[in-house]
Amino acid sequence: MGLTGGIGAGKSTVAARLAEHGAVLIDSDRLAREVVEPGTPGLAAVVKEFGDQVLADDGSLDRPALAAVAFADPDARNRLNGILHPLIGQRTTELIKAAPPEAIIVHDVPLLVENSMAPMYHLVVVVHADVQTRVERIMANRGMTEEDARARIAAQATDEERREVADVWLDNSGSEDEVLAAVDALWADRLVPYEANVRLRRPADPPPAHKPNPTVRYQMRRLVERLRFVAGDRAERVEPVMSESPEDPQPAVIDMRLTVRTPEDVDALMDPLAEAGFPRANDHHASADPGRPVRVWLKSAA
């Protein structure tokens, strides 16, 4: 799953609690520091690109000096990202492969929304707090002025942009005990059974009764992007199957239609869909996620 949230929202609190439960936590910020530690190929590549001026006296990376050079213009920033992103991706892959088969992997990515990474994940968990709470936390924990704190918040994704990709919205505007209780429930009720269902390639149990889904429009858009990512070039169309009943604007089960180009594409997507959390169930694919009932109707355009 992907974990994200704006500065001051309390994402680190949620990440730490998930790790306490046994999640394998992959912190992208930490990896970004690791790949440019002294003696690494990453640091050598950065110095080759930007010069010795980005080194501190002890041979480590002088981050303020690098920022002054690499963020001076978009081209320099792109060159830096071209060095760092493949190294971070390689290290992320190594950590995922080293995790036990039954592990719940949590990828902590501050800029998940800004970098359009949501379709990559089975679930996206967004940690949220109201702006004033975030400002107060930033000022207390990072020593920023109120003006600087608000500027940092304004430079990141908006709440609406985060809602667009959120499978789980954790409100951390209240006490720490409240958000920790929400994380505990998320772990026990959703993440643990979801992992088991994906690993065993079985659909989640159907909901016991019709429960309206007030976020269905967000979820439909999220599913379109997720299924399009999984199907890749094989997808011709991905679309929700809308109910024609005005009495059912918030269906308990979301129906999605994935149209691929050929019958061979239908067969080729059986395993990728199961690995992505949509195992086969009779004449359709069903979600392995106990928190979001979905039916995926896979058909060929040919």
Question: By three-state DSSP, how is residue 165 classified?
Answer: helix
Can you give the length of the chain in residues? Answer: 302
Residue 198 has pLDDT above 90, yes or no: yes
Residues 6 or more apart from 260 whose CB is under 8 A from it?
A: 231, 234, 235, 236, 266, 269, 298, 299, 300, 301
Residue 96 has pLDDT above 70, yes or no: yes
pLDDT in tens, 36-88: 999 999 999 999 999 999 999 999 999 889 888 887 788 888 899 899 999 99
> Which range has the worst mean pLDDT, 8-17, 72-81, 208-217, 278-287?
208-217
pLDDT in tens, 247-293: 555 677 899 999 999 999 999 999 999 999 999 998 999 999 999 99
pTM listed for this prediction: 0.88
Task: Report the chain's mean pLDDT, rounded to a whole number.
Answer: 92
Domains plus CATH for the chain? 1-23+104-200 (3.40.50.300), 29-98 (3.40.50.300), 216-300 (3.30.460.10)
Residue 116, phi then psi, degrees to nearest 5: 55, 45
Percent above pLDDT 70 for the chain:
95
Residue scoring higher pLDDT (292 or 302): 292
